[in-house]
Structure 1
């Protein structure tokens, strides 16, 4: 309409639009960059605070409260510096766009006055043109504001879109599911080689082969770093082997549905992780559908895990909150609740990753008793060091140099005077005897 009323005046007035458009492009790119940097800095400060607060006992034990506060202040100040840069940039850009709108109106009045003086334009045409110019100015201001928010959103959402666009290496709920009752629990590692993705030049397992018959108990021992816990991660399919196969009842785990597979595997780790909810909710978490778990189911699992008595001694019983990561419970108590959680799940395959290594003698006895109940009728893979855990296993596999170097019954391996298992057990027996002597003295 401006060009219809006066093409020469419209061309004169709208000369300001291209510079403003160019300024908006430059401003938008910078705003997108600074928004991304602000989000990253804010995430770093939040991560630092969350990590230090969740490990507050360690921070206090080392007297690092003031230094940690200084680190957090430094992170927050970096966020503040970036926020100031963004504020100055926004103020400058919106000031420029606001000024451009006013310049359009002033230019119309000036040029229009000259055209009226030369009788190329009437008062009515100037009035209507001025109204059109006013709406163009308002629209440019609105578009610049919209563009600013759009670029800020792009900058803030970049990380989120990167995560959404990532393709999972393993499918979550795709693959073969065996019929109910068809799973027996026979496990086999066949010529497995593996290195963690971040350390491809440091292989953990190399050409490892191991067979665990259905319903049997296999203990895996070996020096630290020999790859014992990696076997658990591979069976849970948290990683895939680089070469070789891992089979369950003859089915390659890569063909099985990971969701279905993990629902039939129970794990009890050395340091079990509990959620910051009640004892009952932590135990019920092991069930496929926690909402269907009854109070009797929870109590039965707690009885079998030797956890019922100490839980009942709590003021709120099974409704007692355990704190973040179970910090309000002792090591033995957390371990027995984790065993109760696994019992409620009733898995066909059980993975025990040094479940008693950090416990005292009394708690070890209670946990070991609960584990023996848990292992009945299941295929069990035990990662262990202690003799008390190993001696009841059907077979023992010794890992060293990234492969299985010995495998057999506990008594047979002890009979081999030059074997690695005999050396490991002798060291443990020596340390235990030495500890007893010190206590006696």
Structure 2
């Protein structure tokens, strides 16, 4: 049953979706890319669907199509992470991988497994994550009967991860799973080496399992480095890494994701996957495999930003200039799909600003308050707005022109 707060958040999303669908509105609200969908993946999937192979359009194994699993192992190795480190060579690398019907399904399986307990009488029910957060974290936690515990990343600190606050929120007895997301949705923060080392240290001290949501891993800007949490210290033995074709290849409609990690953490995700969707679409897995193989051939041992990231970086810069021109300040994102803006000086709340922006300038954005847990003390920020930058440059430039033109109304 939805709570009053859940119903309120749902109504906000419904209103934003309705505004975005109105005629003539430039939609910078919804975070789906309208450019850059992998050609290699699409051509590979088309060949699989139209070719003579009998199995290509039938069920794949629950763990994933053999070519897809092998491509994932190669991709991670080519970008600096030997999946075999998760088990130190005691099991086959293939058993450290599962392909799911979206990263969301992989996250669901991980949350469910973490809160079931191991039959030893423990009752760890808390899932800890950073807010603002991807809304599905709370929704899934609610659905599996877990308790959401959040640690706030503050705008005035550039949305950095407060490792000390994370440590204070975690407990050896209560914490079932610690969730980290880098590059972060919705702020774009990319975890620094100090943050990664701090999270690794507290996970070891408290014997925690960590889910590392890395779906935006190739969307890092300005030459910044991206480091996988599983490659820090001994974290490979306690980390589930989540990836997705939705963001890696700009194919959000394909619903192909994956989880990589120790067999003991991946197997429960595989079991949940077998009961929910059974297997991800086979020809689409084959297409994704081709794209991963293409990336691997040119990789140099580390995750590198792709050409889509370069477009989004320019979009972020253009949009930030436009918002600055009308007197608003932004938080320059190191990565991800979004730009966060502070609209406090307008006198509008985040939702009021989004309504005015859609009505006056015909530009749609999202109030950031929907990415926070409801607070009984009323301290949820109401002055931040999120813009999607994962759009063709002409769309973003049109939004910029409209923001400048209608500045007296949207930024009085």
The structure with the larger Rg is 1
TM-score normalised to the size of structure 2?
A: 0.29
TM-score normalised to the size of structure 1?
A: 0.28
Q: Higher helix fraction: Structure 1 or Structure 2?
A: 1
The answer to which structure, 1 or 2, has the higher relative contact order (CA under 8 A, 6+ apart) is: 2
